[in-house]
């Protein structure tokens, strides 16, 4: 099985079924997708046209939070869990533009992501990037792998950008985050976002997508997901919709759509 113009695809990658990372890549204007992904993406946005700006808002939230952590909080170590396919403004690119000595570890277990990992492993000479192939729920493997590149005795920014909806059980998602946070030292940060349904039409189209055979994504309300930040010191403006988290000149029109997130310091 080949990818025209790209690397050889592993046999376990089925391009005939839509894949969430490739559909997301399509909405972001990327090229790492196939006809099944584009068909699923087009079907989704025919019912919910805001999905493309929504995807871009999610990516822009990542850019602004990493910018804040590197520029304003002085963080030089980043652990990006559930990194997904590389696209514009990956965590290491944002952090190393500000602080070239930044060290970044990406975590994912998707063979499709692993296929493109070379794009995530570029680095400045002063810094470092690495990749841990692990299910994010296997927190011991995640942390053991990260410790080969990061000094876990020093502050780390834990980045979990809009991937926890792929964990169907709420208790499992909450436990995952808490296990990771508990292992990081004081002065570390959690930057986390999660999708919710903006209206009934959005919920209906997501339900249809989840029933298609693609990897499902579970919406959760911000009143629920704020529990990820229990006992942490929330950074202003707290938990808000993505474009309302410290907007800058590149943020565009402020809205309150389908994604919420926050950054908090680990005391």
Question: Would you list the DSSP string of 151-194?
Answer: -TTS--EEEEES-GGGS-SHHHHHHHHHHHHHTSPTT-EEEEEE
How many residues does the structure list for the chain? 267
Question: CA 74, CA 56: separation in Å to the nearest integer?
Answer: 26
Tell me the per-residue pLDDT of 151-208, one tens digit each, with 9 for 90 and over.
999 999 999 999 999 999 999 999 999 999 999 999 999 999 999 988 888 889 899 8
Band the pLDDT of 4: cuts 50, 70, 90.
very low
Tell me the per-residue pLDDT of 122-136, one tens digit each, with 9 for 90 and over.
899 999 999 999 999
Residues 6 or more apart in contact with residue 247 via CB below 8 angstroms: 64, 254
The pLDDT value given to residue 5: 45
The predicted model scores a pTM of 0.89
The pLDDT value given to residue 228: 98
Least confident of 59-68, 184-193, 242-251: 242-251
Strands (E), 164-235: 189-195, 233-234
Q: For a pLDDT cut of 90, what percent of the chain falls above it?
A: 60
């Amino acid at each position: 099985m080949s990818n025209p113009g790209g690397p050889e695809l592993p046999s376990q990658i089925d391009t005939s079924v839509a894949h969430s990372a490739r559909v997301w890549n399509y909405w972001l204007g990327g090229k790492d997708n196939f006809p099944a992904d584009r068909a699923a993406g087009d079907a989704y946005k025919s019912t919910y046209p805001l999905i493309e700006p929504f995807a871009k808002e999610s990516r822009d939230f990542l850019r602004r939070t990493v910018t804040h952590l590197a520029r304003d909080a002085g963080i030089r170590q980043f652990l990006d869990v559930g990194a997904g396919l590389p696209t514009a403004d990956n965590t290491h690119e944002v952090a190393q533009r500000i602080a070239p000595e930044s060290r970044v570890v990406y975590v994912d277990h998707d063979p499709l992501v692993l296929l493109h990992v070379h794009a995530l492993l570029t680095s400045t000479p002063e810094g470092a990037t690495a990749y841990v192939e692990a299910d994010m729920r296997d927190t011991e493997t995640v942390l053991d792998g990260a410790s080969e590149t990061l000094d876990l005795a020093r502050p780390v920014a834990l980045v979990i950008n809009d991937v926890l909806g792929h964990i169907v059980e709420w208790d499992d998602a909450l436990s995952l985050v808490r296990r990771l946070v508990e292992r990081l030292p004081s002065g570390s940060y959690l930057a986390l976002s999660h999708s919710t349904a903006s209206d009934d039409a959005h919920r209906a189209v997501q339900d249809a997508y989840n029933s298609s055979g693609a990897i499902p994504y579970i919406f959760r309300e911000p009143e629920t997901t704020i529990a990820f930040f229990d006992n942490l010191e929330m950074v202003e403006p707290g938990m808000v919709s993505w474009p309302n988290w410290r907007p800058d000149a590149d943020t565009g029109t402020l809205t309150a759509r389908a994604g919420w997130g926050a950054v908090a310091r680990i005391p």
